[in-house]
Amino acid sequence: MSRLRIGITTGRQLQDDEWPEFMIDQTPTAYARCIRSIGYLPILIPISGHQNLAQDYIANLDGLIISGGCDINPLIYGEEPRMALSTSDYVRDQWEIALFQAAQKAQLPVLGICRGFQLINVLLGGTLYQDMSEISQQEVSLVQHIKNGSRFIYPQHTIQIKESSILYNLMNKCIEVQVNSYHHQAIKKLGAGLEAVAFSADGLIEAFEQISAEPNPPLLGVQWHPELLAIHQKNMLKLFTWFELFK
């Protein structure tokens, strides 16, 4: 049996504004390591301004991971940028939108992680808190979801998982799971066709799934970083075996 081919989107770093030819395609090595260690073939996909290439990538894949990274341009979900918005990359946004749409058309399973989780949500009509400071401290007692200087291979807060979900089975039928957390944005309004299947103690959505697998292509999104947590907690690798459910 051939290995499942899993595409992983990447970010990029402009090392020197004066020398754009040295721009570097990059993604944390943990994504490819996780995919390899469960016997799949990781394929990194560099950002491209040629959106017509998206369907060619998708045609050669069995699944797609939209990875973590910078903030999404809020114009995509119909909002003006607020002061606490961080860096966004217009070209990456447009490229990942093209990949997601091509994947949907080809019925390819898509796993969104952190930024990818947020991107899938807004492409299905959802919205984001551009910064969690937008959530009134009077309304909820916020959990700390980002702490610069922390090691993200260790858990930071708990989540509660719905027993009816696929995620629950992937997490060895645990209702409460400890996850890492490295996000200053969060889902405000959930996108159409998605079901929230995990929540942090402050009520924020930490995972979603597609409500019905048929006829829609399967979607799973997680706000935490299973690829980094898996370095410390091997059970987190099982999350990536989600792709086998649809081969």
Question: Which among 34, 96, 114, 209 is annotated as catalytic?
Answer: 114
Residue 168 or 224: the one with the smaller Cβ distance to Mn ion is 224
> Judged by CB, which is closer to Mn ion: 99, or 122?
122
8 A C-beta contact, residue 101 and residue 57 = no
Phi, then psi, of 66 in degrees rounded to 5: -95, 115
Residues 184 and 238 sit within 8 Å (Cβ to Cβ): no
Min separation Cβ 175 and Mn ion, Å: 17
Q: Which two tokens stand for residue 199?
A: 């929540």
Of 118, 121, 165, 181, the residue at the interface with Mn ion (CB under 5 A) is 181
> Do 172 and 158 touch, CB atoms closer than 8 A?
no
To the query of whether residue 225 is one of the catalytic residues in this protein, the response is yes
Tell me how far, at minimum, the Cβ of 239 lies from Mn ion, in Å: 15
Q: Which residue has the tokens 């606490």?
A: 84
Supply the minimum distance, in Å, between the C-beta of residue 146 and Mn ion: 8
Closest CB to Mn ion among residues 99, 171? 171
Q: Does residue 145 bind Mn ion (CB under 5 A)?
A: yes
Q: 């995990």: which residue's tokens?
A: 198
Burial 163-174 (b: 16+ CB within 10 A, else e): eebbbbebbeee
Q: Which is nearer to Mn ion, 61 or 187 (CB)?
A: 187
- The span of 122-130, 180-188, 191-199, 210-218 binding Mn ion (CB under 5 A) equals 180-188
Number of chain residues interacting with Mn ion (CB under 5 A) = 2
Rg (CA), the chain: 17
Window contacting Mn ion (CB under 5 A); options: 15-23, 44-52, 137-145, 226-234: 137-145
* Greatest extent of the chain over all pairs of C-alpha atoms, in Å: 55
Q: Give the active site residues.
A: 114, 225, 227
